[in-house]
């Protein structure tokens, strides 16, 4: 047989349960309990309102550059809610909703995006710091999973990245290693259609991002990333598979970045606004609201009350953030390593000496020596 077809054990499934109009496929609905659904809704609302508030704060010069998450809340919350506290979350830089779910405080997110590294110190144990260098977190996630296996710790690692990250070497190294070692990792790709100004079609010729898992010998599934129920079902299956020793999964959440890449970006220069309008109709918050109203778990009065609650929560956090003591430049050496490497310690000492020389100089009375 000089030429034969190799039949692979996998295909790529696409999963959708709750459509853009809020209609639910009853046969696939995971029927989550009311308390979980309402907690998810409240966190989604909080994340959306915080995003809006942060955009205003940045425009007023009260925080620095940040990447809004608008439109991607279902992809994040439907996946992260499946983890236990004893599992690991390894984020990229656009996961504010998932971080809120993990217990990161709003004021710590504000501190971080104001350039204050101590904002990372508040992250919960087993939630790694925000990683801006694209895809560098993926080998870390796999290493943590390998370490967990080595220590007989039943933890699962869930890691996040974008469509653009799938073109980085680290993505392929991480997936290959996770596949070979059958590690308990869930790779959550938020395919928001854009990597700054690079559209999804220019990122890869592959029809789906999910299928990239197949080359590494493990399952990949594509889900409607604006459908919180579909994301939940896929993540639940993937976490169960990882926990039972059956290895990694790649979940491609098809979603859309409704806002700017970061506050330093102007998408009007590279994307058509009609595309944005089309995706606004698929907003995950709108359809989740319709679903919960259909299940009689939400009504306009309850929604208004929740809006008030999250507004107050954000207001208090902004006040706490703005009342924080001024930054110490030496903080930049902290909060990244559990044990600071010697090169960083040397740099820290050098800066400390320079700062103390400056403060001695400025402490001298006007007209004194050394002018």
Residues that bind Mg ion (CB under 5 A): 162-164, 192, 195
Interface with ligand TPP by CB under 6 A: which range of 137-145, 161-169, 176-184, 355-363? 161-169
**Which one of Mg ion, ligand TPP, none is in contact with 94 (Cβ closer than 5 to 8 A by kind)?**
ligand TPP
Helix, strand counts (H, E) of the chain:
13, 8
Q: Is 133 in the site for ligand TPP (CB under 6 A)?
A: yes
CB of 20 closer than 8 Å to CB of 281: yes
Interface region with ligand TPP, contact rule CB under 6 A, candidates 42-50, 157-165, 311-319, 363-371: 157-165
32-40, 194-202, 236-244, 315-323 -> range binding ligand TPP (CB under 6 A):
194-202
> Among residues 166 and 290, whose Cβ is nearest to Mg ion?
166
* Active-site residue (options: 48, 53, 94, 261): 261
| Residues contacting 196, CB < 8 A, separation 6+ | 164, 261, 265
For 37, list phi and psi in degrees, rounded to 5.
-60, -40
Task: Clarify whether 271 is annotated catalytic.
Answer: no
Q: Is 165 in the site for ligand TPP (CB under 6 A)?
A: yes
Binders of ligand TPP among 261-290, rule CB under 6 A? 261
> How far is residue 310 from each of residues 20, 29, 48, 123, 252, measured CA to CA in Å?
25, 28, 10, 20, 30
Q: What is the number of other CB atoms lying within 10 angstroms of the CB of residue 220? A: 25
The partner in contact with residue 291, picked from ligand TPP, Mg ion, none with C-beta cut-offs of 5 to 8 angstroms by kind, is none
Near ligand TPP in 245-264, by CB under 6 A: 257, 261
Which structure tokens are listed for 244? 């039972």
Residue pair 200/164 in contact (Cβ under 8 Å)? The answer is: no
C-alpha 228 chain-centroid distance = 15
Q: How far is the CB of 259 from Mg ion (least distance, A)?
A: 12
Q: Is 337 a catalytic residue?
A: no
User: Given the complex with Mg ion, which of 107 and 252 has the nearer CB atom?
Assistant: 252
Position among 195, 213, 314, 317 found at the interface with ligand TPP (CB under 6 A): 195
- Does 53 participate in binding ligand TPP (rule CB under 6 A)? no
Parallel/antiparallel/unpaired status of strands 88-90 and 13-15: unpaired
Please tell me the chain's helix, strand, coil percentages from 3-state DSSP, rounded to the nearest 5.
50, 10, 40
219 binds ligand TPP (CB under 6 A): no
Q: What is the largest CA-CA distance in the chain?
A: 95
Active-site position among 48, 102, 241, 257: 257
Q: How far apart, in whole angstroms, are the C-alpha atoms of residue 236 and residue 79?
A: 8
CB 323: neighbour CB atoms within 10 A?
Answer: 8
Active site residue 216: no
Q: Which does 103 bind (CB under 5 to 8 A by kind): Mg ion, ligand TPP, none?
A: none
Residue 212 binds ligand TPP (CB under 6 A): no
Active site residues: 257, 261, 270
Which residues bind to ligand TPP, rule: CB under 6 A?
Answer: 94, 132-134, 161-165, 192, 194-196, 257, 261
């Amino acid at each position: 047989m000089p030429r034969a077809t190799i039949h692979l054990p996998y295909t790529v499934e696409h999963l959708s349960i709750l459509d853009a109009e809020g209609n639910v496929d009853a046969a696939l609905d995971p029927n989550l309990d009311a308390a979980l659904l309402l907690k998810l809704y409240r966190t989604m609302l909080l994340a959306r309102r915080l995003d809006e508030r942060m955009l205003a704060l940045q425009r007023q010069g009260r925080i620095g550059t940040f990447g809004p998450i608008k439109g991607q809340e279902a992809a994040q919350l439907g996946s992260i809610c499946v983890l236990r506290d004893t599992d690991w979350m390894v984020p990229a830089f656009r996961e504010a909703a998932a971080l809120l779910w993990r217990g990161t405080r709003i004021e710590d997110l504000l501190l971080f995006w104001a350039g204050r590294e101590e904002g990372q110190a508040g992250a919960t144990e087993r939630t790694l710091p925000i990683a801006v260098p694209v895809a560098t977190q993926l080998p870390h996630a796999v290493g943590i999973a390998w370490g967990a296996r080595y220590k007989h710790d039943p933890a699962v690692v869930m890691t996040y990245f974008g469509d653009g990250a799938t073109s980085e070497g680290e993505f392929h190294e991480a997936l290959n290693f996770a596949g070979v070692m059958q590690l308990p990792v869930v790779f959550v790709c938020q395919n928001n259609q854009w990597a700054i100004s690079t559209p999804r079609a220019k990122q890869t010729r592959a029809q789906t991002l999910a299928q990239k898992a197949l080359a590494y010998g493990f399952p990949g599934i594509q889900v409607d990333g604006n459908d919180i129920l579909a994301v939940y079902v896929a993540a639940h299956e993937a976490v169960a598979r990882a926990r039972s020793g059956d290895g990694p999964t790649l979940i491609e959440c098809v979603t859309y970045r409704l806002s700017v890449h970061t506050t330093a970006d102007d998408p009007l220069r590279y994307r058509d606004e009609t595309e944005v309008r089309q995706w606004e109709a698929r907003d995950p918050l709108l359809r989740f609201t319709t679903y919960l109203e259909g299940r009689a778990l939400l009504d306009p009065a309850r929604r208004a009350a929740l809006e008030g609650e999250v507004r107050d929560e954000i207001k208090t956090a902004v006040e706490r953030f703005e009342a924080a003591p001024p930054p110490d430049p030496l903080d930049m050496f902290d909060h990244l390593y559990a044990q600071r490497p010697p090169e960083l310690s040397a740099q820290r000492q050098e800066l400390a000496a320079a700062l103390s020389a400056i403060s001695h100089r400025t402490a001298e009375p006007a007209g004194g020596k050394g002018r």
